[in-house]
């Protein structure tokens, strides 16, 4: 399964140091929001996770089917949409994601339609469109290492 993700605030305002196994990177807010733009903002990280998962899922499926997918290109953006059901009562808007996908390779229109459907079934897409429960606990600060 997935590894734990550790996020620690940095020495600069809004900079977050993120580590996952041996990987280390930063997140930050854009300059317009008071950050330093030293990394992706949280919305961009979420969009990147969705795009990476959808692309990988499509490539795995195409590999099993032995379909000639040479590349997957995905553009994602955060949008606010008019909403039914769960939305901001003040604005009538809800959060949304626009995702456009293209494939390179000698694929029929039926294969491309099926790959588009498969992209919508990736684990991150399923998580985002389900009811996700987040349980948050207060952790005690760890002692400094000697």
pLDDT in tens, 61-93: 999 999 999 999 999 999 988 777 666 667 778
pLDDT in tens, 109-142: 999 999 999 999 999 999 999 999 999 999 988 7
Query: In sequence order, what DSSP letters do the residues of the chain get, joined into one string?
Result: -PPPEEEEE-SSTT-EEEEETTEEEEE---GGGTS---SB-HHHHHHHHHHHHHHHHHHHHHHHHT----EEEEEEEEEEEE-SSSS-TTT-EEEEEEEEEEEESS--HHHHHHHHHHHTTSHHHHHHTS-------PPPPPPPP-
Q: Which fold has domain 41-133?
A: GMP Synthetase; Chain A, domain 3 (3.30.300)
User: pTM of this prediction?
Assistant: 0.86
């Amino acid at each position: 399964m997935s590894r734990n993700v550790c996020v620690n605030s940095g020495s600069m305002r809004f900079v977050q140091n993120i580590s996952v196994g041996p990987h280390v990177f930063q997140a930050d807010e854009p300059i317009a929001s008071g950050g330093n733009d030293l990394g992706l903002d949280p919305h961009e990280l979420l969009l990147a996770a969705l795009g990476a998962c959808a692309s990988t899922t499509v490539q795995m499926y195409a590999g099993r089917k032995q379909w000639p997918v040479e590349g997957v290109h995905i553009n994602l953006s955060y949008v606010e949409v008019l909403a039914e059901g769960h939305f901001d009562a003040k604005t009538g808007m809800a959060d949304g994601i626009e995702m456009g996908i293209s494939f390179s390779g000698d694929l029929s229109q039926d294969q491309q339609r099926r790959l588009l459907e498969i992209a919508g079934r990736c684990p991150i897409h399923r998580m985002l469109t389900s009811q996700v429960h987040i349980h948050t606990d207060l952790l005690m600060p760890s002692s400094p290492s000697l």
